[in-house]
Amino acid sequence: MSPIIAIEEHYITHEIKSLIDNYSSMPAQTHSRLNDHFDLRIKEMDEAGIDIQVLSHNHPGAQIFSPETAADFAMKLNDELATIVSKHPKRFAAFASLPMQAPEIAASELERCVTKKGMCGAMLHGMLKGEFFDLPKYWPVFAKAEELDVPIYLHPGVPDKRVSDAYYKDYTDEFKVFGTAGWGFGIEMSTAAVRMVLSGIFEKHQNLKIILGHLGEGLPFLIDRTHEGITTRQSPNKRQVSFRNTFCKHFYITTSGNFSDSALLCSLMEMGSDKILFAVDWPYNNNKDATSWIKRTKLSPDDYQKITHSNAQKLLNLNF
């Protein structure tokens, strides 16, 4: 038996939907799948041969609440998620959704979700009110993740308005996802990852583990150039950062929404098969497209096992 574990698979809360369900422009079939916690979800998992989904709330999850209500609503959101998992404990695991607008509360919520609810880490989305999460005020969350030995998944969110206006808006009427899944998401999240390396957080938290989706948001292709620029042209007598070493040590990447042989080969060459995990990005991508692709690749049996399940079992401490 060779299970397939998919680790970037989304849903929408029913419990506090009115607070969060602002997806009116979303295609109906995507919306109905996000809202489906069991029936269609499990049917489409079975049809594609996916054994386990690691569930995460759709963007922006608990990041949408005000700092005053964040603790309460995040708890409700995560309790509901734990209940979903408990109905099918052999098919689901979960990433917590954290109220990052109140970092200390987010750190305690992460601890509660991991130690009391059996979750395997947390997912953060994009930026928060124009700020990236590498800023020191957010470090308590990463410190807690390191202490609990769980990863933080950096997932795209809607790009900052200043960026969208300057970079994307001239073409988004015609090409709706240019600023998001078609290009903007990757640019923002690869920037978020490079900033984390520059921030020095990995010098302080040497066992911190970060996950990026979409085969590393373009970074595997750019590691060499980024390393060259950042590592060899630093100011003398300042803190030295090895981009390549830091990125390849602390980051894991998933195949979500990027089922490309050439991108996978590049990722394998730069990061190695211990750092790549299978994901679909359901329901934005189709389960069967993802599983038929991964089965068709010319991965060695060893690498196939690692990417489809054993890396996830180890990183997320899953006991399936």
Note the residues at the interface with Mn ion (CB under 5 A): 8, 281
Contact 96, 30 (CB under 8 A): no
CB of 285 to Mn ion, least distance (A): 9
281 classed as catalytic: yes
Return the closest-CA partner of residue 199 out of 115, 134, 143. 134
Whole-angstrom distance, CA of residue 192 vs CA of residue 156: 10
The full 3-state SS of 243-289, as one line of letters, equals HHHHHHHHEEEECCCCCCHHHHHHHHHHHCHHHEECCCCCCCCCHHH
Q: How far is the CB of 290 from Mn ion (least distance, A)?
A: 12
Helix (H, G, I), strand (E, B) or coil at 235: coil
Q: Which of 279, 244, 221 is nearest to 8 (CA)?
A: 279
Residue 35 or 246 with smaller CB distance to Mn ion? 35
Please report how the helices 103-115 and 139-148 are oriented relative to each other, as an axis angle in degrees rounded to 10. Answer: 20
- In the complex, the smallest distance separating the C-beta of residue 64 from Mn ion, rounded to whole angstroms, is 16
Catalytic residue among 39, 51, 261, 281: 281
For Mn ion, the closer CB: 135 or 177: 177
Write down how long the chain is.
320
- Which residue's Cβ has the minimum distance to Mn ion? 281
Residue closer to Mn ion (CB basis): 26 or 143: 26
Instruction: Give Cα 260 to chain centroid, integer Å.
Output: 18
Q: How far apart are CA 67 and CA 56, in angstroms?
A: 21
At its nearest, how many Å lie between Mn ion and the CB of residue 304?
Answer: 23
Closer Cβ to Mn ion, 109 or 281, answer by number? 281
CB of 281 to Mn ion, least distance (A): 4
Rounded Cα distance between 60 and 97, Å, is: 9
Toward Mn ion, which CB reaches closer, 45 or 107? 45
The distance of Cα 261 from the centroid of its chain, to the nearest Å, equals 21
Q: How far is the CB of 54 from Mn ion (least distance, A)?
A: 12
**Which of 8/160 has CB closer to Mn ion?**
8
- Distance between CA atoms of 182 and 174, rounded to whole angstroms? 12
Residues assigned a catalytic role: 281
